[in-house]
Amino acid sequence: QNVATEFDTIAAISTPSGEGGISIIRISGENAIEVASQLYKGKNLDKVASHTINYGHIIDPDTEQEVDEVMVSVMRAPNTYTREDVVEINCHGGIVATNRILQLILGGSARLAKPGEFTERAFLNGRIDLSQAEAVMDLIRAKTDQSMKVALDQLDGNLSTLIANLRQDILDVLAQVEVNIDYPEYDDVETVTSRLLREKAVEVKGQVQMLLATAKQGKVLRDGLATAIVGHPNVGKSSILNHLLHEDKAIVTDVAGTTRDVIEEYVNVQGVPLKLVDTAGIHDTDDKVEKIGVERSKKAISTADLVVLVLDSSVPLREEDRQLLKLTEGSKRIVVLNKTDLPTKIDLNELHNVVKNDELINSSAIEPLGTKALEERIAKMFFAGNIENNSNNIMVTNARHIGLLKQASDALDSVLEGLDNDIPVDLVQIDMTRAWELLGEITGDSYQDELLDQLFSQFCLGK
Ligand code: GDP
Ligand code: ZN
């Protein structure tokens, strides 16, 4: 439907920075092939077939010196990522050569692409809709296979299709209402029209609510399950964290209270992305540094989706342990009884009085598989929500989408409220139309330029 708009030619390195086997520079726009040709020695790129990859060399046009040995893909519009002419230069000579080639390209009639600009063009040229563009971004950031799958489904357009259908439904009923108002063939036209509107508002709202219900898990997949590991100093928090990280990132020492920096790490626990926060633990102390940790611990407990409270089973319960047990009572928590390799000194009876059986896990963080039970429990708790059984595989993960769905739901509530209060149908129509517009903002059928800027600037360069 959309015809490619005229844009200038842009270029950027599309592979992650750093050393790698090859790097790819992507050029997109009207002059893409011309820009590449000026630096390329090999076949005539103007003449090669579209979607071919061509061996050759990049030559500095000023010095005629060879810069790198390359493979150049030529893809002509419109069957390209951006729907414009696209050239991708695969270079082999490492990041220095890659940068040099980019500089040569920018010396020609191309400019450096802004972050996400290739994807923005794909959107502006009508190849993908906004929710799909956002899925591209989610894919780039995906932390686990599960998040990848959700983003891929969204990229597939599952969400877009559902939204488009809902909008069409609303449009149909609005058209019907229009007809009824203009040609009142029945005596009870108001009643019939109200019923139509009500039925549709209830139906669409149900779908919107269904989507919103997926948002909680979707958010976790996207942002990670905020997990606080708390406990008295020296109970083994850092050791457990290291197990979860599968590498030694947190510092483990014998001195109580050494984990002073709040470390934030993502970790994939059997498909569940955890955003871990290691705190200094709640610990009564005059030490300033430690105190910051204490306050953060309390704060962490109140904001965490999941609290892992670690206790040392080789010593009796301390007053602080009791305090922590009390503080975490209302949280979704796992109480880890650590150091089970040592003789048990903790009062298990007292513990069982305040901790539910299924909250309690044994652990020995000095053994290679000593925290496996904890990992399994975390995964089980999360997947009990059964994200894989989500009927149509649509999951809303994006904050912008969630916000718009909520607003659409509110607009539909206003429709129902209006009907309940016998407000004239043409006023109720306004709220129905508003719901239609809000849903359209998800897929970018209606959008504002600031939104685009804000959205695409979050992409990394070269995407
Ligand atoms: P944190 O202060 O709570 O982070 O505790 P650390 O992880 O720094 O551990 C404190 C000390 O306890 C270190 O010497 C660890 O090696 C030791 N430790 C941690 N977990 C266990 C365990 O399960 N069994 C035994 N025997 N020692 C442990
Ligand atoms: Zn520690």
Q: Which residue has the higher pLDDT, 460 or 377?
A: 377
pLDDT tens string 405-416: 999 999 999 999
281 is in an annotated binding site: yes
Q: Is the CB of 418 under 6 A from ligand 1?
A: no
Average pLDDT estimate for 377-398: 64
Locate the ligand 1 atom nearest the alpha carbon of residue 340 and give its number: 23
Distance (Å, whole) CA 216 – CA 88:
39
Least trusted range by pLDDT, from 78-92, 236-250, 418-432: 236-250
Q: Residue 280 Cα, ligand 2 centroid: separation in angstroms? A: 6
Flag whether 82 is in a domain: yes
Is residue 216 located within the same domain as residue 252?
no
Single-letter code of the amino acid located at 200: K
Single-letter code of the amino acid located at 163: I
Q: Of the residues 229, 232, 234, which should be mutated to test ligand 1's pocket, given the most ligand atoms within 8 Å of the CB?
A: 234
Q: How sure is the predictor about 450, in pLDDT bands with cuts at 50, 70 and 90?
A: low
Q: What is the CATH number of the domain that holds 32?
A: 3.30.1360.120
Q: Residue 237 Cα, ligand 1 centroid: separation in angstroms? A: 7
- Nearest 5 degrees, angle CA 237-CA 355-CA 307? 40
Query: Within a 13 Å sphere around the CA of 426, how many CA atoms are in the beta-carbon half?
Result: 5
In the prediction, which pLDDT does 258 show? 44
Which among 352, 383, 414 is the end of a domain?
383
- Nearest 5 degrees, angle CA 247-CA 253-CA 254? 145
Q: How sure is the predictor about 383, in pLDDT bands with cuts at 50, 70 and 90?
A: low
Q: Residue 349 Cα, ligand 2 centroid: separation in angstroms? A: 27
Average pLDDT estimate for 114-119: 86
- Ligand 1: which residue has its CA nearest to atom 6? 236
In the prediction, which pLDDT does 226 show? 82
For the chain, the straight-line distance linking the first and the last C-alpha, in angstroms and rounded, comes to: 24
Mean pLDDT of the chain: 81
Flag whether 135 is in a domain: no
Flag whether 393 is in a domain: no
Does residue 78 have a cis bond before it (omega within 30 degrees)?
yes
Give the number of residues written for the chain: 463
Locate the ligand 1 atom nearest the alpha carbon of residue 233 and give its number: 2
pLDDT tens string 178-217: 777 666 665 667 777 888 899 999 999 999 998 888 777 6
3-state SS, residue 319: helix
Average pLDDT estimate for 11-27: 80
Flag whether 460 is in a domain: no
Q: C-alpha 250: how far from its chain's center?
A: 26
Is residue 113 located within the same domain as residue 198?
no
Is residue 158 located within the same domain as residue 15?
no
Please identify which residue in the block is written with the tokens 């357009």: 157
Flag whether 72 is in a domain: yes
Is residue 281 located within the same domain as residue 366?
yes
Q: Is the CB of 339 under 6 A from ligand 1?
A: yes
Is residue 157 located within the same domain as residue 287?
no
pLDDT over threshold 90, residue 445 = no
pLDDT tens string 208-246: 998 888 777 666 666 778 888 888 888 888 888 878 876
DSSP 338-381: E-TTSPP-S-HHHHHHHS-GGGEEE--TTSTTTTHHHHHHHHHH
- Ligand 1: which residue has its CA nearest to atom 19? 236
Locate the ligand 1 atom nearest the alpha carbon of residue 257 and give its number: 2
236 is in an annotated binding site: yes
| Domain span holding position 335 | 229-383
pLDDT over threshold 70, residue 449 = no
Is residue 260 located within the same domain as residue 376?
yes
259 is in an annotated binding site: yes
Q: How sure is the predictor about 3, in pLDDT bands with cuts at 50, 70 and 90?
A: very low
* Rounded CA Rg of the chain: 29
In the prediction, which pLDDT does 19 show? 58
ipTM over 0.90: yes
Given its phi and psi angles, is residue 356 left (phi above 0), alpha (psi -120 to 50 degrees) or beta? beta
pLDDT tens string 280-308: 443 334 444 444 445 667 777 887 888 99
Least trusted range by pLDDT, from 204-208, 255-259, 265-269, 417-421: 255-259
Q: Is the CB of 338 under 6 A from ligand 1?
A: yes
Q: Is the CB of 254 under 6 A from ligand 1?
A: yes
In the prediction, which pLDDT does 241 show? 81
